[in-house]
Amino acid sequence: MNPSTAFAGVMVDELIRGGVQHAVLAPGSRSAPVALALASAERSGRLRLHVRTDERSAGFLALGLAKGSGRPVPVLTTSGTAAAHLHAAVLEASYSGVPL
């Protein structure tokens, strides 16, 4: 197992241990190790993974899931401008006190 894969598995395990039940993924090549760890966690029934191809939709889906459950919901995108598309949802979560 390479270091990126090992780190991603530990990170997802810790998110679940911290109360995460849902995660949202807008996949890309640079986030592949974490995306695969999230998919593995879903296959084993440890969390529910929601996959969206549009980062803005992914951000607002995560916001809605967090508002509805009161639990943190991580949202994963690839690098670069993809993360910038989460800006509006992150601002809304911040001002609303929602764990995103």
For 34-38, which contacts have Cβ atoms below 8 Å and span 24 or more sequence positions? 34/8, 34/76, 35/76, 36/5, 36/8, 37/5, 37/8, 37/9, 37/11, 37/12, 38/12, 38/76
pLDDT of residue 63: 98
Question: In 10 A of CB 2, how many CB atoms?
Answer: 8
Q: Is the Cβ–Cβ distance between 85 and 56 less than 8 Å?
A: yes
pLDDT of residue 80: 87
The overall pTM is greater than 0.85? yes
pLDDT of residue 1: 80
Q: Tell me the pLDDT tens digit for each residue of 56-93.
A: 999 999 999 999 999 999 999 998 899 999 999 999 99
At 50, the pLDDT band (50, 70, 90 cuts) reads very high
CA distance 100 to 17: 16
Give the whole-number percent of the chain exceeding pLDDT 70. 100
| Fold adopted by 3-96 | Rossmann fold (3.40.50)
